[in-house]
Each structure stands twice: as C-alpha cells, then as structure tokens.
Structure 1
Amino acid sequence: MKWWAYFGWLSVVLLLAGCSQVQVSQDYRPGLDFSRFRSYRWQSTPSPASSDIRINNPLLQERFRQAIDGTLTRRGYLQAAAADFLVSYDYSIQTRIESEPIGTSIGVGYGRYYNYGAVGIGTDIGVRQYDVGVLVIDFTDARTGAPLWRGNATQLVTTHSTPEDTTAFVYRMVDSVLSQFPPR
C-alpha cells in the first residue's frame, strides 16, 4: 500500500513540475552581426489595453519592464537615448483546451447475500481548459525600424497570492526569453 501512495505522489509532483516549465522560442534576422548592438531604449509604442484584469495591471507592467531592464543591464547592454536597438514587449493570457484520447474501462462487481454481480463498460473523454501566459519581446533596429529579434515564452498561469510570487513568475519568463539573445 505504501508503494502505491509513494508512486501516486511522485506522479503528481512530476506532472506539476512538467507543467510549470517555461517554453521558449525565437526568431531573428539571419546573417546579422548582433555584436554591434550594445545600447537600447524603450520603444514608445504603447501596448493595447486589455479588459483582462490579470494583464491590465500597472504593477505587472512595471515588473516586466524592470525585469527586462535588469536582465539586459546584467548582460552588458546600456540604456541610452541614442540607442542601437529599441525594446518592446507584449504580455497576453490565452485560454487553451486540451483533450485526451478516448479511454475505455471495464468494471466487474460481485454481489453479497442475495444480490447478483454485474459487469460495466464505460468510455471517457478527458477535456481540460487552462490559461497560458504568453510573453513576446521584440528588438527593432533604432535607425531603420527593421525587426531584429523576437523571443517568445509561454507558461501556465496560476493565481499568485503574493507580490513575490508574481515577481518570480515575471523574472522566470523574462530570463527564459532573453537567455536566447543574442542568437548563437
């Protein structure tokens, strides 16, 4: 009995650990020498307002900007008025649906005293709805306005009970995206 309980808990922990991973991707202008870009400034284009209160939060927007600034500064990029590239970001929450294949089960029951046993057959389709946070960071050439690099990150959105949890979520996403820059 203890072996099954241990296996059950281990399965739950592995499932949750797998779901909390940040998935990243990038796209960039091939053949471009990214080593010549050393300074940046924020693009003044405001992101569109959202009706979702989880996104339309000035504290969350401030955290994203601080995380991007901090990561770029740690990596040696300087914020300057005469910058080499412009930085912008967009954060959205998307609802996704996941379904599992049809499952079939067979159950056998036995009776006691004067009751008779039974055999049952059933099918089940598992459908799950969940929210995913999508962070997109764009770098644009400050002189030409041409897109240089775009990084994306997606992660399951959970309810954060403290500002520290939200800050950790933001920094984890930003660090994951910017770990791809400059492209290798």
Structure 2
Amino acid sequence: MRTLALGAVLLTALAGCASTPTVHTDFDPSAQFASYRTYTWLKKPEGRSPLVDQRVVGAIDAQLAAKGWRQAASNEADIGLAGNVATQQRQTADTFYSGPAWGGYGWGRWGGGMGMGTATTTVRTYDVGTLVLDMFDMKTKQAVWRGTATGTVPDSPEAVNTKVQAGIDKMFATFPPGSAPAK
C-alpha cells in the first residue's frame, strides 16, 4: 500500500513538472544592460482575456521593479517593451489496447482459444499559449532581449494565472543577462 501511495505522489510531482511553461530567452551580447534603468510599454500583450492580459503586464512590471527598473514616459525610457500573446489549438491521440484474450489451456476446441483484442483511440483537443516579450533600446531602436514562455492553457482561471506567473518568473530568473539565477 505504501508503494502505491509513493507512486501516486511521484506521478503527481512529475505531472506538475510537465505543466511548467517552457521558457527561452535570447539577448544581444553587446547590449549594456547595466545602463538600462527605465522602460515603457510600446505594445502590451493582448490575448483572449483582458483580465489575464492585465495580470501578465502586472507580473512583468513587478519583475522589472524587483530588478531596480521603473516605468517612464516613452521619450524618457531606456527600453521599450513589446508583448504578444498567441494561442493555438492542438490535438493529441491516445490509443489504448486490450487483448488479445487468451482462454483456458490446450489447442483449438479442446479447452482454449484466442480472441481478438480491441483498440480505443481518444482524440483530445487543447490550447497552447505563447507569451513573447521583446525589449528594444529606445536610442538605437535595436532589439536587445527576447523572452518566450509556452505552455498548455488550463481550463480554470486560477490555473491560468498560476501558469502565467510561473512562466514570467522563469523568464526573468536570469534577467538581466549575466546576473545570477534567482533562488
């Protein structure tokens, strides 16, 4: 019984890891991130829910504030932010097999037989969401940083908010480039 409970806990932990958004970042190595202190939103992300959009912007603002950056007017900002949100429907097919059915012992009609197995295929449709955040140097108008977070979109608003926050936290874990990862 203890083995079964341990197995259930392990599967739950693995499922939690699998649901973490996939995050990638890229940056211009010649950009002087130490000199950037202010930012402005050039384009705020817009998705299917204005409430989620507000939470995304708020989470990014909080991450930048924690790094010592502050929001400024566009003519005074060091960095311009452009965010985009996209969702795409995907499908997966899961096939489960049962059989073949073996019966009794012996051959043919003397005590045994073989039955054909069956296969059941279930198609599951789900949404995958991607947040892309680009940073531009306002003086040079050149891209200096990009972060992307991609993951399945849960059905409940609470789960969506949790995943959005996890993706943004992971995106900014080593921001600005060259800094130590957050612990």
Tell me the TM-score range normalised by the shorter chain: 0.7 to 0.9
1:41 matched to which residue of 2? 40
Determine the structure 2 residue equivalent to 1:108. Answer: 101
RMSD across aligned C-alpha pairs, in angstroms? 3.3
* Deviation sequence 1:106-133 (CA, Å, 0-9, x none): 533325xx98532435667786543222
Mapping of residues 102-141 of structure 1, within 5 Å: 107-110=100-103, 116-120=112-116, 128-141=124-137
- Following superposition, the deviation at residue 15 of structure 1 comes to 4.2
In 1, Cα distance between equivalents of 2:115 and 2:161:
53
Instruction: Give the alignment's TM-score, normalised by structure 1.
Output: 0.74
Distance 1:168 1:17, change over 3 A: closer
Alignment correspondent of 2:66: 74
For residue 25 of structure 1, give the secondary structure of its aligned residue in structure 2: strand
* Cα distance per residue 1:118-169 (max 9 Å; x no partner): 243566778654322211111011122211110011122111254xx44333
Q: Residue 104 and residue 11 in structure 1: after superposition, are their counterparts in 2 closer, same or farther (change >3 A)?
A: farther
Q: Percent identity?
A: 29
Cα distance in 2, alignment partners of residues 115 and 91 from structure 1: 64
8 Å CA contact 1:136, 1:153 repeated in 2: yes
Amino acid corresponding to residue 64 of structure 1 in structure 2:
V
Gaps of 5+ in 2: 105-109, 179-183
Q: Secondary structure at the match of 2:82?
A: strand
Maintained 8 Å contact 2:80/2:137 = yes
Cα distance 1:158–1:115, how it changes in 2: closer, same or farther (>3 A)? Answer: farther
Q: In 1, Cα distance between the equivalents of 2:41 and 2:57?
A: 9
Where in structure 1 are there 5+ consecutive unaligned residues? Answer: 50-54
